[in-house]
Structure 1
Amino acid sequence: MRSFTCGVCGQLVFFDNTVCLRCGSSLGFDWDARELRAGADVPWCANRAAIGCNGLAPSFGSFCAACALTRVRPADDDPVALAEWVDAERAKRRLVYELGELKLPIPAWFDRPGGLGFDLLSSTRDAVTTGHADGIVTLDLAESDDARREQRRIDMGEPYRTLLGHFRHEVGHFYFPLLVDDDATRAAARALFGDETEDYQAALDRHYRDGPPDDWAAEHVSAYATMHPSEDWAETFAHVLHLHDTLQTAASYGLRVEGPAGRPDLHAEPIDPEAGGLRAELSDWLGLTYALNAINRSLGFDDLYPFVLTGPVVDKLAFVDGVIARGATVRSV
């Protein structure tokens, strides 16, 4: 995430701000210009009053580029779900922002069959399964509740679970057929992740019956990634988005970490500075995560970044990063 300043007084402001705390100017995110704009006579998103959305819309009374992607949202008579909806849309706005930064196409559900859309549903009344099907990402809004999400994280043995992480994972499924759409790319993807046409239900049953293999961390970014090649892709895709967003944020705030004192070259895996792309960025990434984990431990918290990037995992991350970069430059949707 880039840093932003108020166009009136120059104060540091943040992506989600609706008002500048110094001069009181109203703020809105211009999705076309990709900047926060200050002013009153602008077309605010129709969800500004309902959920505090700070996006600007194409016209007065319409939705912004992020909110327009929501196909189903909670009912007005469900106050708990409405509160959770606020958090879910905040995370989704950040996702849509990052997809734009990566210049990925965002075909919308209301423009074409199979386009990207979001059903944000409450499981307080009916069962909801978070997932993706035919372009539609479904999210159980219970994931907005910190206590419930943390309990699920513990129950499922996950080191990391966030609303934004869910969105990144599910859009990974959406982008697979858009980015891996020719024989050569598909063959390369299968060489790394496996055959995505394998029986999904059988793999799901096996995963929840037997659990991940003991050595899953040697070749997978998470235990869940071992369940099926499609989940390995989605988990890796989400991780690439984690990396890009965090590195952009660090760069925007001038945060640079050389590594532990006296050991600026200390890394878990050999880094080739001439490799280019994500492999080259990992040098900055690993130094940053070492420092952040050490700071968290000093405060008595668990590691902020509880992952180990082995050689095979880096190969997968680099592949996904490469097809994202190619998809941003050679595809039109």
Structure 2
Amino acid sequence: MRLFQCEACGQLIHFENRVCGQCGHPLGYLPDVNDLSAVEAEPEEGIVRSLRDGQRYRFCANAALDGCNWLLPEEQEGDYCRACRHNHTVPDLADPVNLEKWMRIERAKHRLIYSLLQLGLPLENREDRVGGLCFDFLADRPDAPELPRVMTGHEEGLITIALAEADDVERERRRTDLGEPYRTLLGHFRHEVGHYYWNRLVRDEHHLEACRAVFGDERADYGAALQAHYDNGPPPDWQANFVSSYAAAHPWEDFAETFKHYIHIVDTLEMARAFGMKVRPSLDRSGLLEALVEFNPYQPASIEQLVEDWAPLTVALNSLNRCLGMADAYPFVLTPSVVTKLGFINDLVHGLAAVDAPAPVAAPSQPAPA
């Protein structure tokens, strides 16, 4: 994520801001140019003019519910922006509890879409393509306890996010029950969209064999693998080969977890770059903990370059959190095996991954010699 500046007064502003705190101008995000622009109302109802480029825009329909600050061109068909057009089902927003949770979910979803746009990944929804990316944000039914709880997950492009995950207390309870070191709304989005991009980039773009060489064979029984994981836990040496214990459950989960961490890395490094952060401990003479992000991590770079800056940054982040009595911000270890997997994701999203060799074509049959 980057920082932004108000065109009207020069004030530093942030991605979720809807109004400049200094000059009071409304703000709208322009995804095509990756800028948060101050706007002024035009005489026509619902039309605003950007101070960035003088063009006329409309706010996404979800702006009326404080769920979005993105703009769409005045002439664009439809009422929803490039992020909200992927919504398939939302909860009853007349319920103020649902509304508050949905707004939290939307903030995480918009950060996800920001990252996907900066990486240039395909972003079709179900109107564009069968199996396109869409979201269901679903609430449990307390009036129907016989119904199963909503579970966060992915199925052929449809990502379901349980509304309960937007409740900090409930999410922390689930994190503790599952023994997880980390559980956030944004993490859910980044993990589940990893499943979508396994379909979209690995399966559909013919990278299966290359992916299997790194993550293992996804044809292993998925249900049985998850049951074994929940019954027995991960293998004792999982830390050597997987970014999380859950990643060890099945190659699909390994891919999704690794994809999630790749987005964690590039997005956090972009913000570190925006702040001009430099890590250089005064007592470290090895140079291994030095980091200065001087490149755009969303643009093609080697995984070694990304990890070289990421590792020292996480040491600093975790150390600062401990000073505040908080848990580590990034409680994970990137072993050489995990870095190799991150490298595959890096190559995949930038179009550099190996494509499966075409199946050999059988030679036409020849008549038997007389």
Shared fold by TM > 0.5?
yes
Deviations 1:1-48 (A, max 9, x none): 011000111100000110000000000001222211111323011111
Does structure 2 retain, via aligned residues, the 8 Å contact 1:45–1:63? Answer: yes
Give the aligned residue type for 1:51.
Answer: D
Q: Counterparts of 1:229 and 1:245 in 2: how far apart (Å)?
A: 24
Q: Counterparts of 2:323 and 2:236 in 1: how far apart (Å)?
A: 30
Give the aligned residue type for 2:27.
Answer: L
Task: Give the 3-state SS of the residue equivalent to 1:119 in structure 2.
Answer: strand
Deviations 1:205-243 (A, max 9, x none): 111111111211110000110111000000000000000
Which consecutive residues of structure 1, in runs of 5 or more, have no partner in the other structure?
A: 268-275
| Aligned positions of 1:254-293 closer than 5 A | 254-259=276-281, 261-266=283-288, 277-293=302-318
Task: Give the 3-state SS of the residue equivalent to 1:65 in structure 2.
Answer: coil
Give the corresponding residue for 2:232.
210
Change (3 A) 1:308 1:111: same
What is the Cα deviation at residue 201 of structure 1?
A: 0.8
- From 61, 75, 100, the counterpart of 1:83: 100
Give the corresponding residue for 2:245.
223
Q: Counterparts of 1:134 and 1:181 in 2: how far apart (Å)?
A: 12
Does structure 2 retain, via aligned residues, the 8 Å contact 1:45–1:62? Answer: yes
Does structure 1 retain, via aligned residues, the 8 Å contact 2:171–2:183? Answer: yes
Give the corresponding residue for 2:359.
none
**Do residues 44 (structure 1) and 59 (structure 2) align?**
yes
Q: Counterparts of 1:243 and 1:191 in 2: how far apart (Å)?
A: 23
Change (3 A) 1:296 1:76: closer
**Do residues 63 (structure 1) and 80 (structure 2) align?**
yes
Does structure 2 retain, via aligned residues, the 8 Å contact 1:260–1:291? Answer: no
TM-score (norm 1): 0.91
Give the aligned residue type for 1:212.
Answer: P
Task: Give the 3-state SS of the residue equivalent to 1:47 in structure 2.
Answer: helix
Give the corresponding residue for 1:296.
321
Give the corresponding residue for 2:343.
318
**Do residues 31 (structure 1) and 21 (structure 2) align?**
no
Q: Counterparts of 1:327 and 1:67 in 2: how far apart (Å)?
A: 30
Q: Counterparts of 1:157 and 1:66 in 2: how far apart (Å)?
A: 32
Deviations 1:120-147 (A, max 9, x none): 1112445211000010100001111111
What is the Cα deviation at residue 184 of structure 1?
A: 7.3
What is the Cα deviation at residue 110 of structure 1?
A: 2.2
Farther off after superposition, 179-188 or 74-83:
179-188
Task: Give the 3-state SS of the residue equivalent to 1:147 in structure 2.
Answer: helix
Change (3 A) 1:294 1:194: same
- From 139, 146, 167, the counterpart of 2:189: 167
Give the corresponding residue for 1:272.
none
- From 316, 332, 336, the counterpart of 1:307: 332
Coordinate RMSD, CA, aligned: 2.1
- Identify, as 1 or 2, the structure richer in helix: 1
Q: Counterparts of 1:208 and 1:28 in 2: how far apart (Å)?
A: 44
Give the aligned residue type for 1:50.
Answer: L
Q: Counterparts of 2:140 and 2:118 in 1: how far apart (Å)?
A: 32
What is the Cα deviation at residue 280 of structure 1?
A: 1.5
**Do residues 120 (structure 1) and 137 (structure 2) align?**
yes
Deviations 1:238-297 (A, max 9, x none): 000000000000001111213463335236xxxxxxxx5121121111111111111111
Which consecutive residues of structure 2, in runs of 5 or more, have no partner in the other structure?
A: 42-47, 49-56, 290-300, 356-370
Greater Rg over alpha carbons, structure = 2
**Do residues 177 (structure 1) and 199 (structure 2) align?**
yes
Task: Give the 3-state SS of the residue equivalent to 1:57 in structure 2.
Answer: strand
Give the corresponding residue for 1:96.
113
Give the aligned residue type for 1:45.
Answer: C
Does structure 2 retain, via aligned residues, the 8 Å contact 1:259–1:266? Answer: no
TM-score (norm 2): 0.83
Does structure 1 retain, via aligned residues, the 8 Å contact 2:153–2:159? Answer: yes
Farther off after superposition, 72-81 or 247-256:
72-81
Task: Give the 3-state SS of the residue equivalent to 2:32 in structure 1.
Answer: coil
Farther off after superposition, 95-104 or 72-81:
72-81
